[in-house]
Amino acid sequence: MTEIRKGLAGVVVDTTAVSKVVPETNSLTYRGYAVQDLAAHCSFEEVAYLLWYGELPDVAQLQLLCRRERAQRRIDRSILSLIEKMPESCHPMDVVRTVVSYLGAEDAGIDPDGIAAPKDLLARALRLTAVLPTVVAADMRRRRGLDPIAPDSHLGFAENFLRMCFGEVPDQRIVRAFETSLILYAEHGFNASTFAARVVTSTRSDLYSAVTAAIGALKGPLHGGANEAVMHAMLEIGEPERAAGWLRGKLAAEQKVMGFGHRVYKNGDSRVPTMKAALDDVAAVTGGARWLRMYDALERAMAEVTGIRPNLDFPAGPAYYLMGFDIEMFTPLFVLSRITGWTAHIAEQSAGNALIRPLSEYTGVAQRDLLVAGGVG
Ligand code: SDX
């Protein structure tokens, strides 16, 4: 009898040099650097460079990357009208997915065989990283009945995005907390969306198709969609004092509590302490003490009842809420960051490609004869 590992749990499917997760020691490194150190000392642009090229940039390399990123932020009329045509009832992840698909169609003439050389892959990765914040900000503002704000090439990645969303650059502590979330969300091994991107890449399809698949995978509430679900749950609970009772009811009904548990970490997510500190900073600036009490109450109750620890989406949800984002925008914020990890993996998969095509064990009806006399044909 073949051993089936449902959901590929515990199965090592390939090697990677992009990041390393060691659940036993709660450690996560990007290209060898601890993610906590990167969050404390680097900009998101430096981390993007590191993921793509394997080394942190020197001053000139960083300047060049930033110049290219800033030069490609604008979206033209066709993209803006595509966003405007999308139903407001659709999820903002549908908008991001559709825009990436459209950008792929615009770019299709360049590589008739679909395969881009590594340099072109990373040029396209940078283009998507530059343009997607403008798309997400424009979509958020249209849902609020507001005109889009053009990008400002004098501002860094995080500041520019926040200004495009809210009309001004917020308090620097908010900017830094947002940038911390971008750095923590950027990369995490063979998670479901990255694996989806690698599967598509393995067929020698193009980068946009791979990213479109990744966005689709990230949208689900068991993956990136959990950061939205966390905040919906906190709002539903309303008061921290109600958290324990709410949680018991949820578990009694055999429902998952969003923002808790992880396929790889069974003893706590390595990124949570850093993001919780960022949430504390945001709460201090915005007067969000109530959500910190909610955080503590839920975390404590979940630990008491199940022993299951929070994942990164648990502090990220209330942090984004307190920054002023609409809840449905939280998972697109994850995209703005993870695009760097996805594309680093697309380049890696492309360079050492093998078609990803596992096997399945058939459990359907045993082979049987077609009874022609019964009137078939
Ligand atoms: C992300 O893979 C990555 O790296 C992803 C990510 C990244 O950076 O890319 O880290 C981002 O996706 C974070 C995860 C966000 N999802 C959620 O917060 C959704 C809630 N979490 C769970 O559904 C769950 O923990 C998963 C989906 C995250 C992991 O699922 P697994 O590994 O398949 O584990 P499981 O669902 O089989 O759970 C094992 C046990 C079960 O109990 P038993 O049947 O063995 O008695 O733990 C229980 C589960 O019921 N459990 C939970 C729970 N998580 C696990 N019970 C209640 N609430 C939870 N959240």
What does the pLDDT look like over 291-312, one tens digit per residue? 999 999 999 999 999 999 999 9
HSE-up of residue 78 (Cα within 13 Å, Cβ side): 7
User: 374 pLDDT band (50/70/90 cuts)?
Assistant: low
Q: What is the pLDDT of residue 2?
A: 86
pLDDT of residue 231 exceeding 60, the answer is: yes
Give the closest residue (by CA) to ligand 1 atom 32: 263
pLDDT of residue 108 exceeding 80, the answer is: no
Residue count (the chain):
377
Give the closest residue (by CA) to ligand 1 atom 37: 263
Give the closest residue (by CA) to ligand 1 atom 33: 263
Question: Cα separations (Å) of 253 from 119, 155, 300?
Answer: 51, 48, 19
Q: Which atom of ligand 1 is nearest to the CA of 189?
A: 4
Q: Which of 222, 254, 314 to mutate to test the pocket of ligand 1 (most atoms within 8 A of CB)?
A: 222
- What tokens appear for 174 in the block? 């908010």
Q: Which of 6, 35, 263, 267 to mutate to test the pocket of ligand 1 (most atoms within 8 A of CB)?
A: 263
User: Do the beta carbons of residue 316 and residue 227 sit within 8 Å?
Assistant: yes
Number of H helices and E strands in the chain, helices first, is: 16, 3
Residues with a catalytic annotation lie at: 262, 313
Which residues sit with their C-beta closer than 6 Å to ligand 1? 7, 188, 191, 222-224, 226, 256-264, 306, 308, 311-313
Residue type, 100: V
Give the closest residue (by CA) to ligand 1 atom 27: 222
Three-state secondary structure string covering 323-353? HCCCHHHHHHHHHHHHHHHHHHHHHHHHHCC
User: Which class in CATH covers the domain with range 226-323?
Assistant: mainly alpha
Q: How far apart are CA 343 and CA 335, in angstroms?
A: 11
Closest listed residue to residue 90, CA positions, set 165, 166, 145, 143: 143
| CA quadruple 305, 309, 310, 311: dihedral sign | negative
Angle value at C-alpha 219, between 180 and 247, nearest 5 degrees: 80
Q: What is the pLDDT of residue 377?
A: 53
Query: Does domain 14-220+329-351 fall into CATH 3.10.20.30?
Result: no
pLDDT of residue 273 exceeding 70, the answer is: yes
Q: Quick: pLDDT tens for 124-157.
A: 999 999 999 999 999 999 999 999 999 999 999 9
- What tokens appear for 3 in the block? 């051993």
Q: What is the pLDDT of residue 85?
A: 97
User: 26 pLDDT band (50/70/90 cuts)?
Assistant: confident
Residues 328-350: what's their mean pLDDT?
98
Here the ipTM equals 0.98
Question: Domain map of the chain by residue range?
Answer: 14-220+329-351, 226-323
Q: Quick: pLDDT tens for 31-46.
A: 999 999 999 999 999 9
Q: How far apart are CA 255 and CA 338, in angstroms?
A: 28
Q: Which atom of ligand 1 is nearest to the CA of 21?
A: 4
Q: Ligand 1 centre from 260 Cα, in Å?
A: 7
